[in-house]
Structure 1
Amino acid sequence: MLVNTKDILLEAQKKKYAVAAFNVINLETVQAAIQAAENEKQPVIIALGERYFPTVNVEGFAALVRALASKARVPVALHLDHAYEKESIIRAIQNGFTSVMYDGSKYDLSENISRTKEIADIAHQANVSVEAEIGSLARGAFSDEEEGDGTLTDPQSAKEFVEATSVDFLAAAIGTVHGMYQGEPKISLQLLERIRDAVDIPLVLHGGSGTPDEIIRQTIGRGICKINVNTEVSMAAVTYLQNRSDQSMVHLSTIMSEMQKSMETVMTKFIRLFAE
């Protein structure tokens, strides 16, 4: 069933676990995410980044997710990830997305608040929940996300931001990266604790890929309720395709089915970890 993302995260916050938000781009990635969630009896967030709009038909994609979610035995949310344009957010809302992320992290705090509040007002009128970000993530290896400057979230700024915008959940920049780490991860759990003390809405961790399991567990214990995963799923699919390159010709349907299973395995690992 398709549900509001806020409802999923408030339940996760109450029971102290995290929900996986998988970045998806096609039928196989959506099916893998929902199947993994059903197998584990856990909710799941299907996330489409604005950066994929040029290659993914949003109207068709949203209809696909809604159809699959209607048959799912677990709660499924449909989320717009890292949107920078108001037009993209309105398009997502019109097509049944249950949450949107407006990323105004490139602006100073005052401008970010102003732009995010406008988005929150629009989305809340349609009963769509809103994620926003203070600070930004640097880009690691194998990521196709935009390059951030790695500025960490200031707890007092986060408090001011949440109070002024009425966003429903907040992405906290505590040292994770988009993609895989190059070198030892430098993640500040102490900073996360201070952010948790400053705001009472669910917190989001971007950059789940490559983050050590124990660090993941500790972030969940300190208030993280949603964790975004993209790169490790992509790597599993690409690795499967690379390993098939020297094998005999098979039908495309077989390749796509087996690739979906490779992604489902990785997604299952994350769902189990986040639900511990």
Structure 2
Amino acid sequence: MMVNTKEILAAAQLGGYAVAAFNVYNQETARAAIRAAESERQPVIIALGERYFPTVDVEGFAAMVQAMAAKAAIQVALHLDHAYERASIERAIACGFSSVMFDGSKYELEQNIRHTQAIVALAHEAGVAVEAEIGSMARGAFSDEEEGSGLLTSPAEAATFVAETGVDFLAAAIGTVHGMYEGEPNIDLGLLEQIRAVTQVPLVLHGGSGTPDATLIETIRRGICKINVNTEISLAATGFLQHYAPAHPKAHLSVVMAELENTLTPVMSRFVSLFANRA
């Protein structure tokens, strides 16, 4: 069933686990995400980034996910990821997204607060939850996200930001990157603990791809309730296509897409299971 993202994350925060937010790009990746979550009996967040709007019919995509969610055996939320434009957020709200992320991390704190307040007012009026970000993640390998400064989140600024904007969940920059790491990851778990101590809303970790499993578990134990995964899904899909096409040059597209979905489902299931933090 389709539910508000805030409901999913409130339960995760109470239960001490995290929910996977998979960036998807088409029917097959969305279906794989839902199948993966059903196999683990966990909720899932289907995320569509603003940067994919030129290649995805947003209204049609939202209707498709809503139809899938209606048949799913688990809770499903539809999330707008990394939106910079108010028009994109208005469009997502209009076609039934469960939550939206306004990324004002490029602004100074006061400007970010002011812009985020406006988005929160708009979204909350429609019953839609809001994610926001302070600090900025750097871009690693194989990512198609914009380059960030890598500035880590200040706990004091996080407390002020949450209190003044009324956001429902907060993305904290603690050293992860968008994409895959170039060199050893340097994740500041102590900083995460400080941010958790001064904020009550669920915390979000961007940059789940390539982050060591043990580190991901430690972030969950320190308050992370939502973990975004994009690049590892993309790499699994493109890797499958690169190997499958030469070996099956006469394969019908319908078969290729079905095999792609079957390939991605266990990749996603591994993340869902890991984030459930059952140990």
TM tier relative to shorter chain: over 0.9
Query: Which residue does the alignment assign to 2:212?
Result: 212
Separation in structure 1 between the aligned mates of residue 235 and residue 263 of structure 2, nearest angstrom: 10
Query: Which residue does the alignment assign to 2:105?
Result: 105
Query: Which residue does the alignment assign to 1:40?
Result: 40
Q: How many residues align?
A: 276
Q: CA RMSD in A?
A: 0.5
Instruction: List aligned pairs for 1:135-154, cutoff 5 A.
Output: 135-154=135-154
Structure 1 position 272 matched with structure 2 position 242? no
List alignment gaps of at least 5 residues for structure 2: none
SS of alignment partner, residue 266 of structure 1: helix
Separation in structure 2 between the aligned mates of residue 145 and residue 262 of structure 1, nearest angstrom: 24
Query: Which residue does the alignment assign to 1:180?
Result: 180
Instruction: List aligned pairs for 1:65-144, cutoff 5 A.
Output: 65-144=65-144
Query: Which residue does the alignment assign to 2:261?
Result: 260
Query: Which residue does the alignment assign to 2:5?
Result: 5
Normalized against structure 2, the TM-score is what?
Answer: 0.98
Separation in structure 1 between the aligned mates of residue 37 and residue 10 of structure 2, nearest angstrom: 18
Shift of 1:245: 3.0
Shift of 1:26: 0.3
Separation in structure 2 between the aligned mates of residue 114 and residue 5 of structure 1, nearest angstrom: 23
Separation in structure 2 between the aligned mates of residue 250 and residue 121 of structure 1, nearest angstrom: 50
Separation in structure 1 between the aligned mates of residue 235 and residue 111 of structure 2, nearest angstrom: 36
SS of alignment partner, residue 112 of structure 2: helix
Separation in structure 2 between the aligned mates of residue 252 and residue 12 of structure 1, nearest angstrom: 38
Query: Which residue does the alignment assign to 1:22?
Result: 22
Separation in structure 2 between the aligned mates of residue 233 and residue 220 of structure 1, nearest angstrom: 21
Shift of 1:247: 1.5
SS of alignment partner, residue 211 of structure 2: coil
Separation in structure 2 between the aligned mates of residue 230 and residue 269 of structure 1, nearest angstrom: 14
Q: Please list the CA deviations of residues 97-118 of structure 1 after superposition, one character each: whole Å capped at 9, or x if unmatched.
A: 0100000000000000000000
SS of alignment partner, residue 54 of structure 2: coil
Instruction: List aligned pairs for 1:221-240, cutoff 5 A.
Output: 221-240=221-240
SS of alignment partner, residue 191 of structure 2: helix
Structure 1 position 246 matched with structure 2 position 243? no
Q: Please list the CA deviations of residues 220-265 of structure 1 after superposition, one character each: whole Å capped at 9, or x if unmatched.
A: 0000000000000111111111112322311111111111111111
Separation in structure 1 between the aligned mates of residue 148 and residue 266 of structure 2, nearest angstrom: 29
Shift of 1:13: 0.1
Query: Which residue does the alignment assign to 1:171?
Result: 171
Separation in structure 1 between the aligned mates of residue 47 and residue 239 of structure 2, nearest angstrom: 22
Query: Which residue does the alignment assign to 1:61?
Result: 61
Which portions of structure 1, spanning 4 or more consecutive aligned residues, are displaced by more than 3 angstroms? Answer: none
Separation in structure 2 between the aligned mates of residue 113 and residue 257 of structure 1, nearest angstrom: 44
Q: Please list the CA deviations of residues 168-201 of structure 1 after superposition, one character each: whole Å capped at 9, or x if unmatched.
A: 0000000000000000000000000000001010
Normalized against structure 1, the TM-score is what?
Answer: 0.99
Q: Which amino acid aligns with 2:126?
A: A
Shift of 1:53: 0.4
Q: Which amino acid aligns with 1:224?
A: I
Separation in structure 2 between the aligned mates of residue 244 and residue 47 of structure 1, nearest angstrom: 27
Query: Which residue does the alignment assign to 2:158?
Result: 158
Identity, in percent, stands at 65
